[in-house]
Amino acid sequence: MSTHTPERHEFKAEVKQVLDIVVHSLYTDKEIFVRELISNASDATEKLRHTQLSEKDIFDADLDLEIQVTSDEEAGTITIQDFGIGMTHGELIENLGTIAHSGSKAFLNALKAGGERNENLIGQFGVGFYSVFMVADSVKVYTRTWQLEGECLCWSSNGDGSYEIEQVEGERRGTRIVFTLKDEYKDFSKKDTLEGIIKRYSSFVQFPIKVDGDEFKTVQALWLKGKDDITDEEYKAFYKFQANAFDDPRFWLHFAADAPISINTLLFAPTENMEGFGFGRMEPGVALYCRKVLIDSDPKGLLPDWLRFLRGVVDSADLPLNISRESMQDSALIQKLNKVITKRFLKALEEKAKNEPEVFNDFWKSFGIFLKEGVTTDFTHRDQLLKLLRYESSYTEVGSTTSFSDYLSRAPEGQKEIYYLYGASRSAIETGPYFEAFKARNVEVLYLYEPIDEFVMNHARAFEEKSFISADADGIDLEAIAPETDTDKEDALAADAVEGLCAFIKEKLGKDVSEVAASDRLVGSPAMIVNGDKMMTTQMRKMMKAMQQQQPGGDASAMGAEPPVKLQINPRHMLVKNLANLRGSDEALAGLIIEQLLDNARVAAGLLEDPSAMIQRNYKILEQLSSK
């Protein structure tokens, strides 16, 4: 009860302006007031704990350091009380009557002047406190300083531009904020609602929180603890809480850095890739905190989009916040955080691949697709990402993969390119015509199975100055790298016969081919289609054609026509040699076989979409051959 006449004070002009901004436009989520008041209570309690280290005489010394939240749903009131450091008369005016001059900041300056630093003491009491006026008709702040010689005070205001301070009796040490909710915000006084807000924003407050007498389960801010002080089980439990997950994490990265920015980071790689199960695009799961208080559960730009599968926490005491904790003031700082965290995670993956290859390989099987996406979209980290990519190759066992570095370590001297082939499966690649020359010369080829793989090669272009080249490209000189190991070859057609046959094939196929030439790259197949553009694979051509067909306007039939291709024939293959003889004895049948040869090559290249004409032609050939 008050026994003194209240003192009336006018808010300073800047405080009136801030109050108006806070109430009408600063915060998008009204529930933020709970976070701000609990954060302030935590700051005040931390200051008391720090004071206890140097001061012996503390008022109410037996009080537990905890935060109590009580509500009366019927009356529409909420009380948030701490047993922290409390405030004197002068501090009430300084902290609640003057904007951006909080006691927490003054306390931090005092510590710095003494050569100490305790970032846990930083608060935004002078601004965050005013968020309560978004939802409250009237606010009372009861407080009693920690000093033995102190007084019990009550600060009160309805946010109309003035406040009163009066002496009261019977207050414990600390601060008790009591406010009556506006009618439209009465739901905030429900216990379940309060607990939900506290869980979202204040789960990591380091002091116990009680809600209507029941202890709220807070979680330790593991990211601020030393790694040696945390068990694997604690890490796993934290992951499940923070990520709302049921699986265990594959592994985690826990690190602190002071330069170029002070951060504490705890990242988790999940066990399951939910995108791979068809559940849609994963949402980013790394939250941004400032001194254990949630700033943003989905901060834009904190990590590159291809790392959206990560879960965890980034906490920085250096965040220059707006007067609202909801918005970042400096986007350049977010970019700096992005760069530091991404590089550290990629470095951790490199170490995992080197020291725990089985763990990394399991991770790659589930999340390698994200790293590939990074190569195609993130130039800044492309070089680091390329070191982590893994593919099957003609040198690996089925299901086993190799890195680009290992590939190059096995390459013959003089090989200046990294060869790859795209196909639906390993068997499809190894039975196709493009692999024959590489197999005969024992030159390693990487196997690509996913559509994004060719875009990876096209965007990366090279690794350690070795260009990525599709093995179906024209102009590849394998003889310069390694001689053909298969010496049991059929005699080839004579040069003049080859020249005449190529001209005959070109005449018969007309505009379907741009060029017909002999090839020494074919071993067991009679013909193949090659690409003049080393970076433009047949699969990419097929995708581009499909995209053109979807373009509005134009002649659909023209766009759907097969573009001319470059056809190469094998002068050592019996079919080709027989064809050279047949063109003189049965030109019509030779023409049908040539058309079939082209379509077979299109099938091998993945370019033939409609096989109906090829099938009918095949029947005609069989019919003519069967009648002979």
Over residues 59-115, the pLDDT tens digits come to 999 999 999 999 999 999 999 999 999 999 999 988 887 654 443 344 345 445 544
pLDDT of residue 534: 54
Which of 370, 238, 389, 382 is CA-nearest to residue 308? Answer: 370
> How do residues 564-573 score in pLDDT, each as one tens digit?
899 999 999 9
Share of the chain above pLDDT 90, in %: 64
Count Cα atoms within 13 angstroms, Cβ side, for 153.
23
Confidence of residue 350 (pLDDT cuts 50, 70, 90): very high
Q: What is the mean pLDDT of residues 604-609?
A: 86
Are 491 and 572 in contact, with CB atoms under 8 Å apart? yes
Q: What is the mean pLDDT of residues 142-157?
A: 96
**What's the residue count for the chain?**
628
Using the predicted structure, report yes or no on whether residue 509 has a pLDDT greater than 70. Answer: yes
Q: What is the mean pLDDT of residues 15-28?
A: 71
Using the predicted structure, report yes or no on whether residue 211 has a pLDDT greater than 90. Answer: yes
Q: What is the mean pLDDT of residues 158-163?
A: 87
Distance CA 266, CA 262 (A): 14
Q: Return all residues near 510 (Cβ < 8 A) that are at least 6 apart.
A: none
Which of 292, 314, 293 is CA-nearest to residue 303? Answer: 314
Distance CA 628, CA 624 (A): 7
pLDDT of residue 551: 56
Cβ neighbours around 584 below 10 Å, total: 10
> How do residues 114-144 score in pLDDT, each as one tens digit?
443 333 333 333 467 888 999 999 999 999 9
pLDDT of residue 549: 57
Q: What is the mean pLDDT of residues 193-200?
A: 94
> Three-state secondary structure along 314-374?
EECCCCCECCCCCCECCHHHHHHHHHHHHHHHHHHHHHHHHHCHHHHHHHHHHHHHHHHHH
Using the predicted structure, report yes or no on whether residue 37 has a pLDDT greater than 80. Answer: yes
Per DSSP bridges, beta strands 263-269 and 251-257 are antiparallel
Q: Which residue has the tokens 């680009």?
A: 404
Specify the CATH class of 497-531+540-549+563-626 in words: mainly alpha
Distance CA 109, CA 353 (A): 46
Q: What is the mean pLDDT of residues 566-589?
A: 93
Which of 464, 456, 455, 493 is CA-nearest to residue 575? Answer: 493
Q: Is the dihedral of CA 208, 214, 219, 221 positive or negative?
A: negative
Q: What is the mean pLDDT of residues 340-359?
A: 96
pLDDT of residue 108: 40
Q: What is the mean pLDDT of residues 486-491?
A: 57
Q: Return all residues near 465 (Cβ < 8 A) that are at least 6 apart.
A: none
Say what the alpha-carbon torsion angle 227, 230, 231, 236 is, to the nearest 10 degrees.
Answer: -90
Q: Say which residue, 389 or 29, is predicted with more confidence.
A: 389
Using the predicted structure, report yes or no on whether residue 594 has a pLDDT greater than 50. Answer: yes
pLDDT of residue 186: 96
pLDDT of residue 562: 67
Domain parsing of the chain, residue ranges: 7-216, 222-361, 497-531+540-549+563-626
Q: Which residue has the tokens 């970019």?
A: 335
Using the predicted structure, report yes or no on whether residue 536 has a pLDDT greater than 70. Answer: no
Task: Assign domain 7-216 to its CATH architecture.
Answer: 2-Layer Sandwich (3.30)
pLDDT of residue 277: 78
CATH no. for 222-361: 3.30.230.80
Say whether 222-361 and 7-216 share the same fold.
Answer: no
> Three-state secondary structure along 2-38?
CCCCCEEEECCHHHHHHHHHHHHHHCCCCCHHHHHHH
Q: Say which residue, 2 or 449, is predicted with more confidence.
A: 449
